[in-house]
Structure formats: C-alpha cells, structure tokens
Amino acid sequence: MEEMNENDERNVRELLIGSGYSDKAITYYLDKKNMGSLPDADQVSELTGVCGDTMKIYMKVEEGKIKDAKIQVLGCPGAIASAMVAMDLIKGKTLDEAKRLQDGDIFRVLEQIPDQKQHCIRLTNKTLQKAIEEYENGNGHKGE
C-alpha cells in the first residue's frame, strides 16, 4: 500500500473526527503499529464478524505469557484502531490476564469511537478470546 502524504492524512483525520473518532483512536488507526503477522507464532486464530470484517491474530506464547502479538485486520477504521489497542494491552500479559480483558478496557484507551462502531471493539475481543481458547485447547494452527 502506498504511504499517505500529509494532505491525505489530514483529510482522513478530519473525516474521522467528523464521524466521532478521538484523535487518539485515529492515531492508532493511521499508525497500524501492531498490524501484520508473526512467522513463528504459537497460535494463529481468525474470526469474521457479522459485518464481514475479518481479524487474524498471531500470538507468541512463552510460559503462559503473551510475548508478542500481531493482528491482520480486513476491516473498518474502528476495527483497525481497536485491534491495535488490544495487541498493546495483551503484550507481556499472562493468558489469564488477557482472558479478563474487557471491551471497556479497549474503549478507554481509544477514548472515543462512533456508537455504531462499538461492535468493532467486540469483534476484536472475541477474536482474542477465541485465540486464547484455541491455544489452550491445542486447536487452531501455528505460524510457519
């Protein structure tokens, strides 16, 4: 994908602020710092929401702790921003701590996203919980 120039970025920011995203949420969306895959992941799990958006989580787990996590998101800005936050929140946490992550924890970091985008947070957390469950049950698959 081509990098956005400053003008494009300003336009995107304005658009998203107009639709109810906080500056912080927009920065998460634009930076996409946890977007991608981990070639040596211990767990790879994916989930598609009713809206059709899809997330795929890659987790590196060591001694019950999430050492690293990345996520691929085919979805809206709300989905991307939520997913970036969630990866930040679970890195370095134990699986048990990550299991207790609430939608509200993600929302608090985002500060504000449009009401109709709350389900993007839910999809993020559901994908994460599915990945943890599959890891613990030995389902799903590993990265190559």
**Catalytic, out of 101, 120, 121, 131:** 120
Q: Is 120 a catalytic residue?
A: yes
Is 49 a residue that touches ligand FES (CB under 6 A)? yes
**What CA–CA distance (Å, rounded) separates 88 from 79?**
14
Is 123 a residue that touches ligand FES (CB under 6 A)? yes
Q: Is 51 a catalytic residue?
A: yes
CB of residue 79 to ligand FES, shortest distance in Å: 4
CB of residue 101 to ligand FES, shortest distance in Å: 17
What Å distances lie between residue 45 and 17, 69, 138, 140, CA to CA?
A: 32, 12, 11, 6
Q: By rule CB under 6 A, what count of residues binds ligand FES?
A: 10
Query: Where would I find the H helices in the chain?
Result: 6-18, 23-31, 77-90, 95-99, 103-110, 118-137
**Catalytic, out of 31, 51, 67, 96:** 51
**Active-site positions?**
51, 120
